[in-house]
Amino acid sequence: MIVEFLLFAVLAALGTWRARRYALSRALVDEPGERRSHSVATPRGGGIAIVAVVVLGCVLALFRGQAPVLPLLAFAAGMVAIALVGWLDDHRPLSARARFAVHVLASALFAAAWLAETGSWAAATVAFGAGIALTNVWNFMDGINGIAASQAACVAAAVLVVGVDGWALVALAVAAGCVGFLPFNFPGAQIFMGDVGSGALGFALAMLTAVAVSDRDSASTAMLALALSAFLIDAALTLLRRVIRGEQWWTPHTQHAYQVCARRWGHAPVTISYCAWAVLSVLIARRVGAGPPAVMGGVIAAWYISGVVLWLWLQRAGAGRLRMDPTVTKD
Please report, in range form, the residues annotated as the binding site: 139, 195
Task: Give the chain as a 3 state SS string.
Answer: CHHHHHHHHHHHHHHHHHHHHHHHHCCCEECCCCCCCCCCCEEECCCHHHHHHHHHHHHHHHHCCCCCHHHHHHHHHHHHHHHHHHHHHHHCCCCHHHHHHHHHHHHHHHHHHHHHHHCCHHHHHHHHHHHHHHHHHHHHHCCCCCHHHHHHHHHHHHHHHHCCCCCHHHHHHHHHHHHHHHHHCCCCCCCECCHHHHHHHHHHHHHHHHHHHCCCCHHHHHHHHHHCHHHHHHHHHHHHHHHHCCCCCCCCCCCCHHHHHHHHHCHHHHHHHHHHHHHHHHHHHHHHCCCCHHHHHHHHHHHHHHHHHHHHHHHHHHHHHHHHCCCCCCC
Select from 16, 15, 23, 6 the least CA-distant residue to 184.
Answer: 16
Side chain identity at 60, as an amino acid letter? Answer: L
Strand partners, 30: 42
Residues making up the annotated binding site for Mg(2+) are: 139, 195
